[in-house]
Chain A
Amino acid sequence: MEDRYIISAKDLTKKFGSFTAVDKISFEVEPGEIFGFLGANGAGKTTAMRMLCGLSIPTSGKATVAGFDVYKQTESIKKNIGYMSQKFSLYEDLTVKENIGFYGGVYGLSKQQRKEKTEFLIDLLKIQDARNKLIKELPLGWKQKLAFSIAIIHEPKIVFLDEPTGGVDPITRRQFWDMIYEAADRQVTVFVTTHYMDEAEYCGRISMMVDGRIAALDTPAKLKEQFGVGTMHEVFVKLARPQSA
Chain B
Amino acid sequence: MKRFLNFVWKEFLHILRDYRTLLILFGMPVAQVLLFGFAITNEIKDAKIAILDFSKDNVTKEISDKILSSGYFMLYENLQSPKDIEPAFRKGIIKEVIVFEPDFGKNLERTGTANIQLVADASDPNFANMVIGYTTSIIADYQSELSKGKTLPAMINPEIKMLYNPNLKSVFMFVPGLMSVILLLVSALMTSISITKEKELSTMEVLLVSPLNPFQIIVGKVIPYLFLSLVNSAAVLILAKYVFEVPTVGSLPLLIAESTLFLITSLSLGILISTISNNQQTAMMISLGALMLPTIILSGYIFPIENMPVVLQILSNIIPAKWYIRIVKGIMLKGVSFDYIWKETIILLGMTLFFITLSIKKFKIRLE
Interface residues of A, Cβ cutoff 8 Å to B: 53-57, 75, 78-79, 81, 83-87, 89-94, 98, 101-103, 105-108, 134, 160
Q: How far is the CA of A92 from the CA of B10 in the complex (A)?
A: 12
Contacts of B6 in A (CB 8 A): 101-102, 105-106
Sample of 17 further A-B pairs with CB below 8 A, known A87-B202, A89-B203 = A54-B209, A56-B367, A75-B213, A79-B211, A81-B209, A84-B206, A85-B202, A91-B14, A94-B13, A94-B14, A102-B9, A105-B7, A105-B9, A106-B7, A106-B211, A107-B210, A108-B211
**Which parts of B344-368 form the interface with A (CB within 8 Å)?**
367-368
Contacts of B211 in A (CB 8 A): 75, 78-79, 106-108
Q: Is the interface of B mostly helix, strand, loop or mixed?
A: helix
Question: Closest approach, in angstroms, between the C-beta of B329 and any C-beta of chain A?
Answer: 40
Question: Closest approach, in angstroms, between the C-beta of B10 and any C-beta of chain A?
Answer: 5
Contacts of A85 in B (CB 8 A): 202, 205-206
Q: Offer 20 A-B interface pairs, CB within 8 angstroms, sorted by A.
A: A56-B367, A75-B211, A78-B209, A79-B211, A85-B205, A89-B205, A91-B201, A92-B201, A93-B17, A94-B10, A102-B6, A102-B7, A103-B210, A105-B6, A105-B7, A105-B9, A106-B207, A108-B2, A108-B3, A160-B209
- Residue on A with the closest CB to B203? A89
Q: How far is the CA of A55 from the CA of B211 in the complex (A)?
A: 11
**Which parts of B200-224 form the interface with A (CB within 8 Å)?**
201-203, 205-213
Contact between A55 and B205, CB atoms less than 8 A apart: yes
Interface residues of B, Cβ cutoff 8 Å to A: 2-3, 6-7, 9-10, 13-14, 17-18, 201-203, 205-213, 367-368
Q: How far is the CA of A93 from the CA of B14 in the complex (A)?
A: 7
Contacts of B203 in A (CB 8 A): 89-91
Q: How far is the CA of A94 from the CA of B212 in the complex (A)?
A: 19
For B18, B202, B203, B206, the residue with the greatest tally of chain A CB atoms inside 10 Å of its CB is: B206
Q: How far is the CA of A81 from the CA of B209 in the complex (A)?
A: 8
Question: Closest approach, in angstroms, between the C-beta of A158 and any C-beta of chain B?
Answer: 11
Knowing A78-B211, A81-B209, the reply to whether A94 touches B17 (Cβ < 8 A) is yes
Contact between B209 and A83, CB atoms less than 8 A apart: yes
Contact between B17 and A78, CB atoms less than 8 A apart: no
Q: How far is the CA of A75 from the CA of B3 in the complex (A)?
A: 14
Q: How far is the CA of A93 from the CA of B203 in the complex (A)?
A: 13
